[in-house]
């Protein structure tokens, strides 16, 4: 009885605090006319389409009308949804448009975006952004905006045009790229937005509170209605995408060079089982075109976290998210499914023989299932990986779900995780998470439990987050990622931000955070306290200044660049200063400097990032990290990481990129050149050149590879 009363109370809170559903509606016009995407709204259908123009500022003047008129129109036919933005500008020559790369940093340009909640459940959506050049950027959003998959790629088109009154863009999104529950007349959630770079102005049709900042624009909670879609062809489809790859490789084996010929073929398939359930199959999967990981210097005793970049694992990846700290910035302390465990062993690629993935939604249930098999290698036997994930919608904007993972080799060894989680959002400004998960294997020292609770509350000025994470001494997750086990971690973070709008200052803020770690014998093993301040100018330049005090108990010695850090208790102080310039300028810089204790010594770190957009086609990005580490038992230790990326876009379908890196702590330098030509939507030609050098003495060439890859999308 008490349990029922508690549920009723929570349900009542949720109902009372729900956003009143926006009364704004847009009804796309059904057209039989052929729409040519050229940035000219000269088709007769556009003149008959409904016009919406009531945009409201999120920033800098929350709630005020936009300073530059924005009009949106929508059309559709049986195959595509069309959106047109007419962006007036009183100073059209100052419109910032210097990014043409696919999934480039379009938020640094004048840009527009559309959010489509095709299920109308305010939990997941598709987000499309473009600029005056028609560059494409898309994001798959899950968990009510808490998980963003910016590496997801949809097959869609956009065309922009600048003119003497501003700029115009046309967008076409095929229905077979979206997932939705087909009805005779559908109601979707929708929102539109525009960013004006030189004014640092963000506006939306359905206003997103300023306290939500930029992540709030991805939250499908803030939506109007897209109504009247009828007669849409069911997006059940069958896509076949074979690939052919060929090339040469040469590597240094001892004192001898060995040359090999590369040649292979494979197949990806996509089948729309229903309008909202998709099956992906892959055979002999290859990711030759994927860019190398960014080089890092690991100054801790814990593993580094690298993001997933491989296409097959990216689509629908938000559905498989499960763990602690999921959706926060930075690596999560615990993620039960980390797809880079598949096909990568000890930083070496392992051949993917094939597999499948089923993702989508059936009624109020979101479903994800994945199965993949990797070939035997010198590092590991033939291994099968399986994941089953399910979530059920509850109340208005909350979910409950479970996950099961299994890693099993042909030796009979297995490792499994299973758990349940809850995401509860009784109010736009209040979020709670709970999770518990167990691990099982034939070995007793790999079976245990972990659990997690977090509470996040915010308003216009304050944000408070508190969480507790408990990972058992024997808990393991061989398909996941975690920093450490045998911990009980309590974390608290509170920050305050106020809008100044004086003396050239737009915002100022302060943050206080802390954490406390115990093992399961209740011995303290670590804590930290941090106090910081930040400021953002009207021109969008800013800085952060942080002071941090840390305690760390090192139970076993470990090595950093051949220097041993002995076991012991360490109390450390650190001060950090970061500064950055406004990113929409042709040249932008981010810099940071840290100084303080480093275990029983001290460390000074310098981090510089620069971005120079020489033209709208050519961009140069540079990165430099340097550490000076002073320890009593050794000479001054200096580490360097240098990286440069040069990108050139002939147009929105032809890109080249050169990415070069040097990391002296690993005594390795590398260069990667990629040419990508999208000769038809969904079909690509790649030319890839990789070269690596051993820098232990001088720059000695160690290996090189040149490959060409051809894919062709056939839709049936």
pLDDT of 252 > 80? The answer is: no
pLDDT at 9: 46
Most confident of 93-97, 228-232, 275-279, 635-639: 93-97
Confidence of residue 328 (pLDDT cuts 50, 70, 90): low
pLDDT of 261 > 80? The answer is: no
Average pLDDT of span 592-613: 95
Confidence of residue 457 (pLDDT cuts 50, 70, 90): very high
Count of residues in the chain: 716
Q: 115 exposed, middle or buried (CB, 10 Å; 0-12, 13-18, 19+)?
A: buried
pLDDT, tens only, 614-673:
998 999 999 999 999 999 888 888 999 999 999 999 998 999 999 999 998 888 899 999
Average pLDDT of span 505-530: 95
pLDDT at 18: 40
Nearest to 308 by CA among 343, 350, 269: 343
**String of b and e for 497-534 (b: at least 16 CB within 10 Å)?**
bebeeeeeebbebebebbbbbbbeeeeebbbbebebeb
| Cβ-based neighbours of 116, under 8 Å, separated by 6 or more | 125, 126, 127, 128, 173, 178, 188, 189, 190, 226
d(CA 543, CA 538): 13
Order across the sheet with 157-163: list the strands. 29-30, 70-76, 80-88, 166-174, 157-163
pLDDT of 130 > 60? The answer is: yes
Residues 60, 66, 68, 73, CA torsion sign: positive
Task: State the DSSP code for 9.
Answer: H
Confidence of residue 5 (pLDDT cuts 50, 70, 90): very low
Domain boundaries along the sequence of the chain: 20-229, 303-479
pLDDT of 417 > 80? The answer is: yes
The two beta strands, 542-554 and 568-580, are antiparallel
pLDDT of 512 > 80? The answer is: yes
pLDDT, tens only, 217-241:
999 989 999 999 988 866 557 889 9
Average pLDDT of span 449-459: 94
Average pLDDT of span 396-401: 89
Percent of the chain predicted with pLDDT > 70: 95
Confidence of residue 488 (pLDDT cuts 50, 70, 90): very high
pLDDT of 511 > 50? The answer is: yes
Average pLDDT of span 46-52: 96
pLDDT at 14: 43
**What H or E segment, with its residue span, contains residue 311?**
helix 311-314
pLDDT, tens only, 191-224:
999 999 999 999 999 999 988 888 889 999 899 9
Tokens of 276: 């909202």
Average pLDDT of span 336-345: 90
pLDDT of 515 > 80? The answer is: yes
CATH of domain 20-229: 2.60.40.1190
Confidence of residue 7 (pLDDT cuts 50, 70, 90): very low
Average pLDDT of span 233-262: 77
pLDDT at 13: 45
Percent of the chain predicted with pLDDT > 90: 62
d(CA 113, CA 171): 10
Confidence of residue 8 (pLDDT cuts 50, 70, 90): very low
d(CA 405, CA 24): 43
Residues 249, 250, 253, 258, CA torsion sign: positive
pLDDT of 16 > 50? The answer is: no
Most confident of 175-189, 293-307, 571-585: 571-585
Query: pTM for this one?
Result: 0.85
Nearest to 212 by CA among 460, 493, 494, 501: 460
Residue with the bigger pLDDT between 378 and 488: it is: 488
pLDDT of 96 > 70? The answer is: yes
Average pLDDT of span 575-594: 94
pLDDT of 345 > 90? The answer is: no
pLDDT at 256: 66
Compute the mean pLDDT over every residue in the chain, rounded to the nearest whole number.
Answer: 89
pLDDT at 699: 72
Average pLDDT of span 520-537: 95
């Amino acid at each position: 009885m008490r349990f029922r009363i508690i549920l009723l109370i929570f349900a009542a809170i949720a109902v009372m605090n729900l956003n009143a559903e926006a009364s704004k509606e847009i009804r796309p016009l059904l057209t039989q006319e052929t729409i040519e995407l050229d940035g000219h709204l000269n088709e007769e259908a556009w003149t008959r389409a409904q016009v919406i123009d009531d945009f409201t500022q999120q920033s800098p003047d929350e709630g005020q009308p936009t300073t530059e008129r924005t009009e949106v129109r929508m059309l559709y036919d049986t195959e595509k949804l069309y959106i047109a933005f007419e962006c007036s500008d009183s100073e059209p020559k100052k419109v910032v448009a210097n990014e043409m790369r696919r999934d480039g940093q379009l938020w640094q340009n004048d840009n527009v975006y559309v959010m489509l909640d095709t299920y109308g459940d305010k939990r997941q959506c598709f987000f499309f952004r473009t600029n005056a050049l028609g560059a494409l950027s898309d994001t798959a959003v899950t968990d009510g905006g808490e998980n963003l998959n910016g590496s997801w790629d949809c097959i869609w088109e956009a065309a922009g045009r600048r003119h003497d009154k501003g700029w115009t863009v046309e967008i076409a999104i095929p229905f077979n790229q979206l997932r939705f529950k087909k009805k005779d007349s559908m109601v979707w959630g929708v929102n539109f937005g525009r960013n004006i770079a030189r004014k640092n102005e963000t506006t939306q049709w359905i206003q997103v509170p300023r306290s939500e900042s930029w992540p709030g624009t991805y939250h499908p909670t803030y939506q109007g209605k897209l109504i009247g879609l009828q007669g849409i062809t069911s997006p059940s489809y069958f896509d076949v995408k074979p690939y052919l790859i060929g090339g040469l490789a040469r590597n240094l084996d001892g004192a001898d060079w060995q040359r090999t010929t590369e040649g292979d073929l494979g197949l990806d398939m996509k089948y729309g089982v229903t309008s909202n359930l998709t099956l992906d199959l892959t055979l002999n999967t290859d990711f030759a075109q994927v860019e190398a990981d960014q080089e890092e210097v690991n100054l801790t005793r814990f593993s580094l976290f690298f993001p997933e970049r491989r296409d097959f694992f990216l689509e629908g990846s938000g559905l498989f998210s499960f763990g602690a700290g999921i959706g926060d910035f930075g690596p999560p302390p615990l993620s039960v499914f980390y797809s880079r465990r598949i096909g990568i062993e000890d930083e070496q690629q392992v051949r993917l023989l094939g597999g499948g993935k089923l993702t989508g939604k059936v009624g109020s249930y979101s479903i994800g299932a994945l199965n993949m098999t990797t070939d035997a290698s010198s590092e590991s036997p033939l291994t099968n990986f399986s994941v089953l994930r399910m979530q059920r919608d509850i109340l208005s904007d909350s979910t409950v779900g479970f996950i099961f993972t299994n890693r099993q080799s042909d030796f009979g060894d297995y490792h499994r995780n299973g758990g349940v989680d809850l995401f509860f959002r009784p109010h736009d400004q209040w979020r709670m998470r709970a999770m518990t998960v167990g691990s099982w294997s034939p070995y007793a020292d790999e079976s245990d439990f972990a659990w997690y609770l977090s509470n996040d509350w915010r308003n216009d000025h304050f944000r408070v987050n508190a969480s507790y994470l408990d990972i058992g001494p024997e808990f393991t997750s061989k398909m996941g990622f975690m920093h450490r086990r045998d911990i009980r971690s309590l974390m608290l973070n509170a920050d305050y931000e106020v809008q100044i709008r004086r003396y050239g200052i737009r915002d100022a803020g302060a943050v206080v955070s802390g954490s406390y770690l115990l093992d399961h014998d209740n011995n303290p093993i670590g804590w930290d306290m941090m106090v910081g301040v930040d400021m953002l100018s009207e021109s969008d330049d800013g800085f952060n200044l942080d002071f941090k005090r840390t305690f760390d108990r090192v139970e076993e010695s470990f090595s950093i660049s051949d220097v041993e850090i002995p076991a012991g208790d360490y109390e450390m102080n650190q001060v950090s200063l970061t500064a950055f310039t406004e990113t929409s300028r042709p040249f932008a810089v981010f810099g940071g400097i840290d100084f303080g204790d480093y275990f029983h010594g001290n460390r000074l770190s310098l981090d510089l990032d620069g971005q120079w957009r020489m033209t709208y086609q050519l961009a140069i990005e540079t990165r430099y990290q340097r550490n000076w580490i002073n320890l009593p038992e050794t000479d001054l230790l200096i580490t360097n990481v240098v990286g440069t990326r040069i990108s050139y876009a002939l147009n929105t379908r032809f890109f080249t990129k050169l990415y070069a890196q040097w990391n002296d702590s690993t005594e390795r330098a590398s260069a990667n050149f990629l040419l990508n030509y999208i000769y038809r939507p969904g079909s690509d030609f790649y030319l890839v050149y990789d070269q690596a050098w051993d820098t232990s003495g001088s720059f000695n060439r160690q290996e090189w590879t040149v490959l060409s890859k051809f894919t062709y999308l056939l839709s049936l």
